[in-house]
A and B are shown apart, each in its own frame.
Chain A
Amino acid sequence: MLYREVGQYKTSYGADQALFPILQDRIGITVILLLAFVGVPLTASSFTLDSILIPVLVLSLAATGLNLLTGFTGLLSLGTGGFMGVGAFACYKLTTFFPNVNIIVLILCSGFFAAAVGTVFGLPSLRIKGFYLAVATLAAQFFLSWCFIRIPWLYNYNVSASIEVPTKTLFGVPVTGPTASPVTRYLIVLSIVALLTLVAANLVRGRIGRTWMAVRDMDLAAELIGIRLYQTKLLAFAVSSFYCGVAGAMMVFLWLGNAESESFNINQSFLILFMVIIGGLGSLLGSFLGAALIWGLPIVLRAAPAFFGLSIQSATAEQASFVIVGALIIFFLIVEPHGLARLWQIGKQKLRVWPFPY
């Protein structure tokens, strides 16, 4: 209905393969970006920023990372939390080694450490597949979280055994640490996420993305086409872990402000995995939708009783939310196993052929 595509003909492959070939989509994304970069900072409360927007963005990035690995390359990983942790601790160490280097640079660099570690734990992926691989990545998860506890060097021997984020400034404005305002942190997170999402989009629509999907859909055929399975899978692991690493670093430096190993444990990995599955495997948009839903749901559930004027002690509410989240996950999987992204696609298609059903 909103889509009016008549006369949007393509006279070059460039135009035909653009990121958003349809005019209406281009308009839509522009509006969204404007809102995110201008509208939100002007209006949003620091609560909204700190406990909704920033977390969702950070988690979306992690989800994107995992989605590149699991959704696009078909390699199931349960080590996301660990890789995020690597990013976080790497960033922390970097700030101690290079106190004067621009924090954003450091955050991005820490991604590379995660990438390196991720690649190492990706090594088994050539020999083993499916759930076996998943378990292998679980090894990474446990080993890494053990390191985060047992190697004090990582957290500079703090008694609290946790990372305390130093205050860093950008153009004189504090961007990390207690004094940094939510808006600045939000804007930085947003910029980084937007940038990396664009990169991801470019990767998946080009040669590399295709080789990934080829490996996912039919690895033997891919091999006979001349795709080197090993390189492809390892690259996927590296890129994926890079995203997770950056997400982890941002999580500590731009969101939580401090963190101990708990933040990167197995449950974190599962959480991210949920987001990817519920959002939609093999869809970047899905990563965002998934993150928003999984993060938003408990918040809503916690707010709900108060909203209806019921008083329940928080423990019960917590447990109830567990039950509900669990049920909802099953529900979503049954309704649309391909995730929210698919739902969006279907809706979009309907709009394009409106008023017809097909």
Chain B
Amino acid sequence: MTHLLYGIFIDPFVQMGTAPDLLVQTLWEGLVSGVLYALIALGFVLIFKASGVFNFAQGIMVVFSALTLVGLNENGMPAYLALALTIAVMLVLAFAVERVILRPLVNQPDIILFMATFGLTYFLIGLGELIFGGDPKVMISDQLQLPSGSYRIPIFGGYLQMQKIDVAAAIIASLMVAALAVLFNRTRIGRALRAVADSHKAALSVGISLEQIWVIVWFAAGVVALATGIMWGARSNVSFALEIIALKALPVLILGGFTSIPGAIIGGMIIGVGEKIGEFYWGPLLGSGIESWFAYVIALVFLLFRPQGLFGERIIERL
């Protein structure tokens, strides 16, 4: 018993203190996977904000886009052309979704739309495998001139190992967020998007039809998904296993709130770091693999204190 308590409350912190370099390393890795969670969460937020749809398919879109990219390249298409084409595919997908799912189901209860995105998930999985086969693929990092190798930075008498690809990921992520921020706050579309988030009528008044907006956000989400896919693919490889990892974005959403972009980013970081630390310092105690749920528990605990999430505005219930 005492041993357990020691294991939980003392030992980990002792370790942190004695081997700070490991701590930093863990933090870094946490941050990196956090960035990727954040990107997926970003896709959710975009769509949820603009169309109120809880897009379960976001995870699959990540995989699907990556698959397409690699698949096209495998069939002898130059990397950048493949990239362009994949983006086009995501655009087509956005149109298709708007036409086939959103339009017929407009003003159905959220749960129905949620279910529909499930259908989409199944559909994309099946389609992806039909076209490119089920077996894992290797991301075409070098064709896309993604950096490889790593930096080694000495700290606290130890070393901090940083994969260049991770650094790149971090950078690209921040660029993308910046871009979206601009899109949202500086452009007419952005205003429309934010208007939709409040009320659909408002959006129309800005002079952009709901349909257009939906297409735009789904496309944006698609592009984000593609980026995520590339990054992720570059670190591990491209397969539908990613789908489960995509679910990690959900606790991020809880932390960050379903409608807040900064929330998604910060949430992503917290979750990423939190679970890495948890795994590294507390994991052995509980038998490893706690990654799979630790994030959720963090989120859950958090929820009990702030139901509206990190940046979500407080809800006053009226009658």
Which secondary structure dominates where chain A touches chain B?
helix
Q: List 9 A-B contacts (CB under 8 A).
A: A70-B111, A124-B304, A128-B307, A135-B296, A138-B296, A277-B111, A334-B104, A337-B105, A337-B112
On whether the beta carbons of A323 and B126 are closer than 8 Å, the reply is yes
Q: Would you list which residues of chain B between 280 and 300 have a CB under 8 Å from chain A?
A: 286-287, 289-290, 292-293, 296-297, 299-300
Q: CB-CB < 8 A to A220: which residues of B?
A: 317, 319
B-contact 0/1 string along A88-122, CB 8 Å cutoff: 00000000000000000000000000000000000
B-contact 0/1 string along A323-358, CB 8 Å cutoff: 111111110011001000000000000000000000
Contact with B300, one of A124, A277, A316 (Cβ below 8 angstroms): A124
Q: Is A270 an interface residue when CB atoms closer than 8 A count as contact? A: yes
Contact with A131, one of B108, B244, B258, B319 (Cβ below 8 angstroms): B258
The stretch of B127-135, B207-215, B264-272 in contact with A is B127-135
Q: Closest CB-CB distance, A86 to chain B, in whole Å?
A: 15
On whether the beta carbons of A329 and B116 are closer than 8 Å, the reply is yes
Cα–Cα distance between A128 and B255 once the two chains are bound (Å): 13
Q: Closest CB-CB distance, A201 to chain B, in whole Å?
A: 23
Q: CB-CB < 8 A to A136: which residues of B?
A: 254, 296, 299-300, 303
On whether the beta carbons of B254 and A322 are closer than 8 Å, the reply is no
Cα–Cα distance between A99 and B293 once the two chains are bound (Å): 34
* Chain A CB within 10 Å, residue with most, of B104, B124, B126: B126
Q: Closest CB-CB distance, A10 to chain B, in whole Å?
A: 34
Q: Closest CB-CB distance, A324 to chain B, in whole Å?
A: 8
Asked if A135 meets B292 with Cβ closer than 8 Å, knowing A150-B287, A319-B130, the reply is: no
Q: How large is the interface on B (under 10, 10 to 19, 20 to 34, 35 or more residues)?
A: 35 or more
On whether the beta carbons of A325 and B122 are closer than 8 Å, the reply is yes
The stretch of B26-34, B180-188, B197-205, B245-253 in contact with A is B245-253
Q: CB-CB < 8 A to B114: which residues of A?
A: 131
- Number of A-B pairs whose CB atoms are under 8 Å? 129
Cα–Cα distance between A221 and B317 once the two chains are bound (Å): 12
Q: Is A230 an interface residue when CB atoms closer than 8 A count as contact? A: no
Cα–Cα distance between A96 and B13 once the two chains are bound (Å): 41
Q: Is B219 an interface residue when CB atoms closer than 8 A count as contact? A: no
Cα–Cα distance between A251 and B291 once the two chains are bound (Å): 28
B-contact 0/1 string along A110-149, CB 8 Å cutoff: 0000000000000010011111100110110011011001
On whether the beta carbons of A149 and B289 are closer than 8 Å, the reply is yes
Q: Is A181 an interface residue when CB atoms closer than 8 A count as contact? A: no
On whether the beta carbons of B116 and A320 are closer than 8 Å, the reply is no
Contact with B123, one of A76, A149, A273, A323 (Cβ below 8 angstroms): A323
Cα–Cα distance between A252 and B252 once the two chains are bound (Å): 34
On whether the beta carbons of A330 and B119 are closer than 8 Å, the reply is yes
On whether the beta carbons of B250 and A138 are closer than 8 Å, the reply is yes
On whether the beta carbons of A131 and B296 are closer than 8 Å, the reply is no
Q: Is A274 an interface residue when CB atoms closer than 8 A count as contact? A: yes
Contact with A128, one of B115, B303, B319 (Cβ below 8 angstroms): B303
Asked if A333 meets B105 with Cβ closer than 8 Å, knowing A132-B307, A135-B251, the reply is: yes
Q: Is B120 an interface residue when CB atoms closer than 8 A count as contact? A: yes
Asked if A76 meets B119 with Cβ closer than 8 Å, knowing A143-B297, A150-B289, the reply is: no
On whether the beta carbons of A316 and B119 are closer than 8 Å, the reply is no
Q: CB-CB < 8 A to A329: which residues of B?
A: 115-116, 118-119, 122
Asked if A132 meets B247 with Cβ closer than 8 Å, knowing A127-B307, A143-B296, A277-B115, the reply is: no
Q: CB-CB < 8 A to B74: which residues of A?
A: none
On whether the beta carbons of B254 and A132 are closer than 8 Å, the reply is yes
Q: CB-CB < 8 A to A128: which residues of B?
A: 303-304, 307
Q: Closest CB-CB distance, B299 to chain A, in whole Å?
A: 7
On whether the beta carbons of A322 and B293 are closer than 8 Å, the reply is no
On whether the beta carbons of B110 and A131 are closer than 8 Å, the reply is yes
Asked if A319 meets B253 with Cβ closer than 8 Å, knowing A127-B303, A266-B247, A337-B112, the reply is: no
Q: Closest CB-CB distance, B278 to chain A, in whole Å?
A: 13
On whether the beta carbons of A277 and B303 are closer than 8 Å, the reply is no
On whether the beta carbons of B123 and A330 are closer than 8 Å, the reply is yes
On whether the beta carbons of B111 and A135 are closer than 8 Å, the reply is no
Contact with A322, one of B54, B111, B129 (Cβ below 8 angstroms): B129
On whether the beta carbons of B130 and A323 are closer than 8 Å, the reply is yes
Cα–Cα distance between A321 and B112 once the two chains are bound (Å): 22
A-contact 0/1 string along B90-117, CB 8 Å cutoff: 0000000000110011001111101110
Q: Is B125 an interface residue when CB atoms closer than 8 A count as contact? A: yes
Q: Is A315 an interface residue when CB atoms closer than 8 A count as contact? A: yes
Cα–Cα distance between A325 and B116 once the two chains are bound (Å): 12
Q: CB-CB < 8 A to B111: which residues of A?
A: 70, 76, 277, 281
Q: CB-CB < 8 A to A320: which residues of B?
A: 126, 130
Cα–Cα distance between A149 and B299 once the two chains are bound (Å): 22
Contact with B119, one of A135, A221, A326 (Cβ below 8 angstroms): A326
Contact with B299, one of A139, A145, A277 (Cβ below 8 angstroms): A139
Q: Would you list which residues of chain B between 63 and 102 have a CB under 8 Å from chain A?
A: 100-101
Cα–Cα distance between A128 and B304 once the two chains are bound (Å): 8
On whether the beta carbons of B112 and A326 are closer than 8 Å, the reply is no
* Chain B CB within 10 Å, residue with most, of A130, A270, A320, A333: A333
Q: Which residue of A lies closest to B126 (CB)?
A: A322
On whether the beta carbons of A127 and B105 are closer than 8 Å, the reply is no
Q: Is B121 an interface residue when CB atoms closer than 8 A count as contact? A: yes
Contact with B293, one of A146, A281, A321, A330 (Cβ below 8 angstroms): A146
Q: Would you list which residues of chain A between 11 and 58 have a CB under 8 Å from chain B?
A: none
Contacts A135-B299, A329-B116, A333-B116 aside, 7 further interface pairs with beta carbons under 8 A come to A146-B289, A270-B118, A274-B118, A277-B115, A326-B119, A329-B122, A337-B105
Contact with B296, one of A127, A130, A139, A270 (Cβ below 8 angstroms): A139
Contact with B122, one of A143, A277, A322 (Cβ below 8 angstroms): A322
On whether the beta carbons of B289 and A143 are closer than 8 Å, the reply is no
